[in-house]
Amino acid sequence: MLSLDFLDDVRRMNKRQLCYQVLNFGMIVSSALMIWKGLMVLTGSESPIVVVLSGSMEPAFHRGDLLFLTNRVEDPIRVGEIVVFRIEGREIPIVHRVLKIHEKENGEIKFLTKGDNNSVDDRGLYKPGQHWLEKKDVVGRARGFVPYIGIVTILMNDYPKFKYAVLFLLGLFVLVHRE
């Protein structure tokens, strides 16, 4: 039987202290959640921080870069600007440059994108039958970036067991450790 000495503190706790340990864990998770939702509200984007997943925008953005997005209604989308968009039915956001725009008088636009480092435009990536993207597909525009940090996120997604192990250990530590 393992010597579970590290649980000694927990075993000596009364109901209220145990309750506080769980609440403490809950508050740490809630704080992270609230900061994320707060950023969503502030920037207007449903995913205010994204990681560049491929090298299709080199040399501007490399795989693993962290991008900070805003999605204000007033920002016009113009040819040559970089947008982050999601293709209907897919979860992964894509960071590419706008190539062509068709604009109606009332401001509705349809646009075509292409990665700087790709040889063809993105029509191959769009939904079958879809030839243009619209404003509703846009997640946001990049306003700032931090290089390399996103590699951790990519690693965690490529090795989900590693991610669960790290989260489990962190959670256990918070629950067992007294302030």
Partner 1 sequence: MAARNGKNGLLEKWRIDEKPVKIDKWDGAAVKNSLDDAAKKVLLEKYGYAENFNLVDGRLLICTISCLFAIVALIWDFLHPFPESKPVLAICVISYFIMMGFLTLYTSYQEKNIFLVSVQKDPAGMDLNHTWQLSSSLKRFDDQYTLRVSFTDGKSKHTREQEITKSVGAFFDGNGTLVMDQFEKCVSKLHNTLATEKKTK
Residues near partner 1, by CB under 8 A: 8-9, 11-12, 16, 19-20, 23-24, 26-27, 29-31, 33-34, 37-38, 40-41, 46, 178-179
Long-range Cβ contacts of 20-24 (<8 Å, 24+ apart)? 21/174, 21/175, 21/176, 21/178, 22/175, 24/174, 24/179
Question: CB of residue 147 vs partner 1: minimum separation in angstroms?
Answer: 28
Question: CB of residue 76 vs partner 1: minimum separation in angstroms?
Answer: 19
Give the relative orientation of helices 160-176 and 15-43 as an angle to the nearest 10 degrees: 130
Question: CB of residue 138 vs partner 1: minimum separation in angstroms?
Answer: 12
Comparing CB distances to partner 1, the nearer of 83 and 112 is 83
The CA distances from residue 119 to 57, 98, 114, 145, 154, in Å, are 11, 14, 8, 25, 24
Comparing CB distances to partner 1, the nearer of 58 and 88 is 88
Residues with catalytic function:
56, 96, 122
